[in-house]
């Protein structure tokens, strides 16, 4: 199980890099051209797709594991993502807690909650599509 955890962290780090890149594109390119009303949800949809694509490509990396393990991987990724979002956001970026909590507000167009759901379910769904679960 330790091997699966280490591999999960490795894949999650790739997802984090993709998320940072996605956010940079949103901030530097999309918002100046099309505004945040469209850019924020578009970025959430794009990140959800990236998470699934990265997961789909990475499924063979995990080897032969049981279906339930893929659900555990998704739950682990949620914990890592939330820890990163809160701890990095607050202690490194200096963002106040109440601002970090705004990522869960769908009313402003932020689809982070959808990204979290996709992140949780992607390992299991991708494994099913690949015939591994």
pLDDT in tens, 5-38: 999 999 999 999 999 999 999 999 999 999 989 9
Is the Cβ–Cβ distance between 35 and 84 less than 8 Å? no
Residue with tokens 């063979």: 60
Going from N- to C-terminal start, the domains of the chain cover: 2-129
To 5 degrees, how large is the angle CA 92–CA 95–CA 101?
120
Q: Which residue has the higher pLDDT, 103 or 46?
A: 46
pLDDT confidence of residue 109: 87
Closest CA to 20 of 53, 43, 49, 36: 43
Whether the per-residue pLDDT at 71 is higher than 90: the answer is yes
Q: Which residue has the higher pLDDT, 1 or 52?
A: 52
Closest CA to 8 of 65, 48, 61: 61
Tokens of 35: 């505004």
């Amino acid at each position: 199980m330790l091997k699966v955890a280490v591999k999960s962290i490795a894949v999650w780090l790739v997802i984090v890099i993709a998320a940072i890149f996605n956010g940079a594109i949103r901030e530097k390119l999309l918002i100046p051209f099309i505004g945040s009303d469209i850019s924020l949800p578009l970025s959430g949809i794009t990140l959800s797709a990236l998470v699934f694509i990265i997961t789909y490509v990475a499924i063979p990396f995990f080897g032969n594991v049981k279906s339930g393990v893929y659900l555990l991987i998704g739950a682990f990724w949620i914990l890592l993502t939330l820890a990163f979002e809160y701890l990095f956001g607050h202690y490194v970026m200096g963002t106040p807690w109440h601002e970090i909590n705004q990522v869960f507000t769908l009313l402003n167009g932020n689809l982070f909650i959808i990204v979290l759901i996709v992140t949780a379910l992607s390992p299991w769904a991708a494994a099913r599509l690949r015939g591994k679960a």
